Amino acid sequence: MLGIADFLSLLKWWGVLFSIGIVFLPVTVRFLGIFFDKGYAFSKIIGTIVLSYIILCVGELHLISFSTANCFLLLLWCGLLQLILHLSYSWKEMLQKVTKYIKTTWAFMLFEEILFLIALYFWSYIRTFAPDIHGLEKFMDYGFVNSILRSTYFPPKDMWYTPMPINYYYFGHLMTAVLTKLSFLSSNITFNLMIATLFALTLTLSFSLGANFFFALFVEKKEKLSFKTYKTMLLGGIFAAFLAALSGNLHTIYSFFRIYNTDTPQPPWKMIFSVQTFPNGYWYPNATRFIYHTIHEFPLYSFVVSDLHGHVLDIPVVLTAVALLFAIYLQKREQAKLSQQESLFAVIVEQLHILSPWIFYSFLLGVMYMTNASDGLIYFLFSLPVIFLLHKKYPLFSPKNIFQLQLFQTVITLFAGLLLFALPFSLFFKSFVSQIGVICVPQFLINKGSIGPFLFEANHCMHSPWWQLLILYGFFAFWFLGLCIILWMQKRKQHSLFRVDIFLLFLGLFAFILIAIPEFVYFKDIYSTYYRANTMFKFVYQAFLLLALLSGYTLVRFFTNPVRKETPSVKVFLSFFGLFGLVLFTLVGMYPYFAIPSYYNNLQNPKTLDGTSYLAALYPSDNKAIEWINTHITGQPVIAEAQGDSYTDYARVSANTGLPTIFGWTVHEWLWRGTYDIAPPRITDVQTLYETPSASVAQAIIHKYDVSFIFVGQLERQKYKLQEAKFQQIGHVVYASGITTIYQVFPEKL
């Protein structure tokens, strides 16, 4: 159970999310009103996205500063604006509309809210067993959030490379900071609450999508909603939610075999079966590092290790985009209803009304680009087959319908919208992907080096063995085949394909294309040995999420599909197919059994949601100094601290306070800035600052980087041959306790 303080923090956090969801419910209903729940489950994330985007824009324009009061003011403004828009109805009409909405959806709203709250509490409780914002890349994520929280205007500062702005996908961290401001909680608590929120949103949004797939099926089949159909919708939602948020892949089969060498894994049929010693030391991260020199993570692994990364922060945005695209696909294609006497303004207004779902989708693409850049590209491409399906019965070139929602018009709207909505971010962002590398290049192309964006590098020929791909994605391939069998059975009965089946068929095909892409090309970054790791990571992560939704639908559809009129041989085949599918489901469903206890200390000795409590044990003196900084220093003055390699405890002051420092984690800044040349000068300057006995030399470095504070703590004393006396000459002590001292200097007076 959560402690009283943590439980109250969770309630405050949930209250903020609930309030945002209610304020933005009209927007949600406008775009997802075709769903059985009117899109209620998506209102929290839609509201958080829109509010955070407005805050980013006004902050970059220096119109409104980033403060708690202004966050509330903008939320209130959003609510009032929607109320004013709805006042175009008479009070009677509006009251009737609201009453009808509540009558038809209150049960669904209540169920989804309870589901969200249970999931939020569940993962918050899980986090108490290992709440530390420490290890892996948590320093990076926590530093981003803290830097944003200290920002008055935007773009936020890179806490590890003063005075430059963050050159990473930070919109998800901005959403975390906005919720932190609104909840009046400290970031060491909200970091863990945000992880729990992402889990809860993934579960709830996937549930809504899974249930709405069946709702759309029943509507098209003209079946009346009954206990039976509601039960099927409920099952569809549950299985989609489980597979998206809690499942793994078939790699768990190795728990039944002797431990293998992780550098040279063997296929199961070449290994020794050993069920007596189950689980044979099975180590859950191997499921994400199975293919040599690659990364192929999935949502549950991300929730377990709890790095607040862009790909995790983007999951709810991605699910919202899929939901919107599905809703657009289901709705009847609107036509402009204008007479020849209508003004140009009326034509534009009508077209904007028709295009508004696509404009909102392009807004989500822009948000995805700002949160996890590759997702913007991926879901722009995913929209293309849907656009084609919506327009296939219309001519590609039709002068008479130039103002109608034609294929090219929609594509241009989406791409232009993506660029426009991402502009507040892209103005200050330089991509660290340089070119598109080709895998296994013929010799005659290697000699050319590159052609346009394509790069031809020697010794870059690496393909994934088919059996490894089968273990990672065989479960999804099996249920995609199951969907094909269902569609084949429908066609045999001379039934046309239902729209939801066509949508999911294209979804599945697109997901498998994403899995195949890293076998042919890779995005060039700074990593030479792991050259296709990030490409595979970005693409297959989305494929896993999409295929989880498809498999949840197909699994339930398969077992609820009547087979009374089938031949005996077909019935036997379907029985064996279903039985084997359940075995595969058991294997992917075992993953949380391994992962959660392994990372979370076998769920023993829960602590609190305080993610920085570990500092008191590891760095007791520095911890008190960091607490003092967070209490007494406002704004973002530069603080000097010890510099070190990535994934170490160096740069802990800047990460835990949001104050920018001279230079932080080396490899990360190398990646973000695209060149290692930035590192040596700053590393040398930091070392010189601490080790030189000369006050004038130290003053020059302080002036160069506009340093206001110098932190001398445990790591500084360990790493450098410290010459501390000079700091007394060029500044004065503002904090001293134990082995930690903070000096204040005034670079503008030097």
Please write the tens of the pLDDT for every residue from 476-494: 999 999 999 999 888 877 6
State the amino acid at position 134 in one-letter form.
H
- Going by the DSSP 8-state scheme, the letter that residue 278 receives in this structure is T
Token output for 380: 């722009």
In this predicted structure, the answer to whether residue 93 has a pLDDT above a threshold of 90 is: no
Contact (Cβ atoms closer than 8 angstroms) between residue 338 and residue 401: no
- C-alpha gyration radius of the chain: 28
Q: Measure the CA angle with vertex 192, ends 191 and 195; round to 5°.
A: 95
In this predicted structure, the answer to whether residue 6 has a pLDDT above a threshold of 90 is: yes
Output the pLDDT for position 331: 85
Output the pLDDT for position 338: 45
639 band by pLDDT with thresholds 50, 70 and 90: very high
Average pLDDT for 344-355: 66
403 band by pLDDT with thresholds 50, 70 and 90: very low
Average pLDDT for 247-274: 89
In this predicted structure, the answer to whether residue 27 has a pLDDT above a threshold of 70 is: yes
Q: Is 678 in a helix, a strand, or coil?
A: helix
Output the pLDDT for position 409: 78
| Bridge partner residues of 745 (DSSP) | 731
Scanning 447-567, the segments in alpha helix (DSSP H) are 466-492, 499-516, 533-560
In whole angstroms, give the CA distance from residue 298 to residue 287.
9
State phi, psi for 127 to the nearest 5 degrees.
-65, -25
Contact (Cβ atoms closer than 8 angstroms) between residue 585 and residue 490: no
Average pLDDT for 641-653: 97
Average pLDDT for 212-222: 94
Nearest to 556 by CA among 502, 470, 471, 486: 486
Contact (Cβ atoms closer than 8 angstroms) between residue 31 and residue 207: no
Output the pLDDT for position 349: 65
Cα distance from N-terminal residue to C-terminal residue, the chain: 55
Output the pLDDT for position 336: 46
Token output for 362: 């392009």
More confident residue, 273 or 429: 429
Contact (Cβ atoms closer than 8 angstroms) between residue 263 and residue 554: no
How far is residue 303 from each of residues 62, 143, 405, measured CA to CA in Å?
35, 19, 40
In whole angstroms, give the CA distance from residue 148 to residue 622.
23
Q: Measure the CA angle with vertex 625, ends 624 and 631; round to 5°.
A: 90
How far is residue 531 from each of residues 99, 294, 447, 464, measured CA to CA in Å?
57, 8, 20, 14
Quote the percentage of the chain above a pLDDT of 90.
76
Which long-range contacts (C-beta less than 8 Å, at least 24 apart) are formed by 254-257? 254/280, 254/282, 254/286, 255/279, 255/280, 255/282, 255/590, 255/594, 256/280
Output the pLDDT for position 90: 58
In this predicted structure, the answer to whether residue 396 has a pLDDT above a threshold of 50 is: no
In this predicted structure, the answer to whether residue 304 has a pLDDT above a threshold of 80 is: yes
Output the pLDDT for position 651: 96
Average pLDDT for 420-430: 96
In whole angstroms, give the CA distance from residue 221 to residue 223.
5
pLDDT, the chain, mean? 91
State phi, psi for 298 to the nearest 5 degrees.
-150, 165
pTM summary value: 0.95
Q: In what order do the strands lie in the sheet with 707-712?
A: 638-640, 707-712, 740-745, 731-737
Average pLDDT for 658-674: 96
How much helix, strand and coil, in percent to the nearest 5, is found in the chain? 65, 5, 30
In this predicted structure, the answer to whether residue 581 has a pLDDT above a threshold of 80 is: yes
More confident residue, 561 or 87: 561
Quote the percentage of the chain above a pLDDT of 70.
93
H/E segment holding residue 657: helix 652-657
- Going by the DSSP 8-state scheme, the letter that residue 625 receives in this structure is H
Place of tokens 């241009």: 412
Average pLDDT for 566-588: 92
More confident residue, 428 or 342: 428
226 band by pLDDT with thresholds 50, 70 and 90: confident
278 band by pLDDT with thresholds 50, 70 and 90: confident
Output the pLDDT for position 402: 43
